Amino acid sequence: MHYDLIIRNGTCVLPWGEVRTDIGVRDGRVASLTAGIADDADEIVDAAGLHVLPGLIDPHVHLRDPGDASVESIPTGTRAAALGGVTTVFDMPNTAPAITDAEMLRWKQEYASRESWVDFAMYVGATRANTPHLGEYERFDGVCAIKVFAGSSTGDLMIEDDEGIRRVLEHGHRRVAFHSEDEYRLQARKAMFTPGMPYDMHRVWRDEECAFLGTRRIVALARRTGRPIHILHTSTAEELAYLPDCRDVATVEVLVNHLTQVAPECYEALGALAIMNPPIRDRRHYEASWEAVRNGTVDTIGSDHAPHSLEAKARPWPATPAGLTGVQTLVPVMLDHVNAGRLSLGRMVDLMAAGPARVYGLQAKGRIAMGYDADFTLVDMKARRRITNDWIATPAGWTPFDGMAVTGWPMATIVRGHAVMREDTILGMPSGRLARFAP
């Protein structure tokens, strides 16, 4: 049998477990899980000593495009994703201008299809003005979900009131993703703080109740309207104890930062380079996040890659912008957690491949199985590397994990049967396509 690609000698993480087998690819899809020794291919990848994972997905990135290309863009951000072993990204809508109407959606569809190194999906930002059209926009090619900023945004993208959120939930039928901090509490507490206070005050201002109150309000509205929701970057022990009882409407994301960094130490070590929303919290919330990973509460893990220039980050708190780089470091950091025994490799794949596909209705991705897209992340679980700023492809040029030693490293990124990265080298030309979703 002839294939376009055969991946031989790897330990493949299939939906039913780890199997030593050879994978045959034809026309960008998995054509065989048992390619024989006599079978040939246009290209053969020897994966001896490597694990072959389904293509890993980062369902939460801000590629800032349109915006400031000196900080990030779709070409640079998807290049970073490929270097980090990520085969598909879901890009947020708070750009300049924002992705909130048909014109900007069509612009982004065309641009991403031409410039992305990996497969690509986009959120549509909900506004008061576009609410009646959201049911139409969520069906555009490449749209993964509607995104609602119920806190921590500006201008038209902020919908903080119950009536506005309810109206969004009544237009369309697919799952809606939420930034769920409570804007009213944020504004009420703002006067407690003054410019130049320590960076650790960020988590005091945006406290646990700010997040938990927002999540409780949104869950109640989801139940009232019967609309499924996804709570992004869940960060508190309180939310993670509450959300298992909300499975009728809610799924859950946590971020790699909330599984890796702990306050107050992160603020002491990194200063402004630890400022993100929701904030990195203390060890009680860190431990709760890991327990939620272990007990199945968490459905997806993302990076919330949201770069800013070092110049902007150097502003005193609270003027420093919130957001960290992360799409390129997501996979190495999570592989290190696997090697540290915090979760199994199978659970990591569930959270970073099958989970996003299940939550968002992503078609033909998320697992290695017959007929699925031939997306693979090949990793060396024994490789010892150090994450450094000079490895980062994002123009902002920094990572909060600079200097971190990790065990486990992405060795190849294959998207629909085409190798995009091998051994830290980008190959070919951008060939990403818009991801497909259930209607």
List the CATH number of the domain containing 265: 3.20.20.140
Q: What average pLDDT does the segment 18-26 reach?
A: 98
Look up residue 233 and give its DSSP letter. Answer: T
In a domain, 395, yes or no: no
Do 89 and 174 reside in the same domain of the chain? yes
Instruction: List pLDDT tens digits, range 404-430.
Output: 999 999 999 999 999 999 999 999 999
Residue 389 lies in a domain: no
Mean pLDDT value of segment 380-406:
98
CA distances from 158 to 53, 102, 153, 164 (A): 38, 19, 6, 10
Is residue 74 helix, strand or coil?
A: helix
Selecting among 119, 304, 373, 380, the annotated active-site residue is: 304
Q: What is the pLDDT averaged over residues 308-336?
A: 98
Question: Would you state the pLDDT for residue 151?
Answer: 87
* Per-residue pLDDT tens digits for 35-92: 999 999 999 999 999 999 999 999 999 999 999 999 999 999 999 999 999 999 999 9
Q: How many domains does the chain have?
A: 2
Question: How many other β-carbons are positioned within 10 Å of the β-carbon of residue 171?
Answer: 20
d(CA 242, CA 142): 32
Average of per-residue pLDDT values in the chain: 97
Tell me, yes or no, whether 20 and 166 share the same domain.
no
Asked whether residue 394 is assigned to any structural domain, the reply reads no
pLDDT exceeds cutoff 90 at 168: yes
Tell me the average pLDDT across 321-336.
Answer: 98
pLDDT, mean of residues 266-283 = 98
Same domain, 284 and 271: yes
What CA–CA distance (Å, rounded) separates 281 from 158?
A: 24
* Dihedral over alpha carbons 152, 158, 163, 165 (to 10 degrees): -80
Of 377, 259, 235, residue with least CA distance to 326: 259
Q: Model confidence at 253, in pLDDT bands (50, 70, 90)?
A: very high
- Residue 326 is assigned to a structural domain of this protein: yes
| Average pLDDT, integer, range 121-129 | 98
- Region for residue 78 given its phi and psi (left: phi exceeds 0; alpha: psi -120 to 50; beta: otherwise): alpha
What Å distances lie between residue 319 and 76, 197, 316, 322, CA to CA?
26, 11, 6, 9
391 within domain boundaries: no
The reply to whether 38 and 121 lie within a common domain is no
Q: Give 330-343 pLDDT, tens digit per residue.
A: 999 999 999 999 99
The whole-angstrom separation of Cα 233 and Cα 254 is 5
Residue 346 and residue 219 in one domain: yes
Are residue 28 and residue 79 in the same domain, yes or no? no
Residue 156's pLDDT is: 83
**8 Å CB contact between 65 and 98:** no
Q: Are residues 123 and 248 in the same domain?
A: yes
| pLDDT for residue 154 is more than 90 | no
Rounded CA gap, 99 and 78, in Å?
18
420 shares a domain with 319: no
Residues 71 and 117 in one domain: yes
Is 439 a domain residue? no
**Residue 235: inside a domain, yes or no?**
yes
Judged by DSSP in three states, 213 sits in helix
Positive or negative torsion for Cα 15, 19, 27, 36: negative
The CATH number given to whatever domain includes residue 28 is: 2.30.40.10
Same domain, 63 and 44: no
Active site residue 119: no
157 with 240, same domain? yes
Q: How confident is the model at residue 153 (pLDDT cuts 50, 70, 90)?
A: confident
Give buried/exposed letters for 228-265 (b at 16+ CB in 10 A, else e): bbbbbbbbbbbbbebbeebeebbbbbbbbbbbbbbbbe
List, as one string, the DSSP characters of 390-411: GG--STT---TTTT-EEEEEEE
Give yes or no: residues 378 and 356 share one domain.
no
Q: How far is it, in rounded angstroms, from Cα 199 to Cα 315? A: 11
Closest listed residue to residue 152, CA positions, set 59, 323, 277, 308: 277
pLDDT at 155 exceeding the cut of 80:
no
Q: What is the mean pLDDT of residues 177-203?
A: 96
Domain that holds residue 203: 56-360
431, part of any domain: no
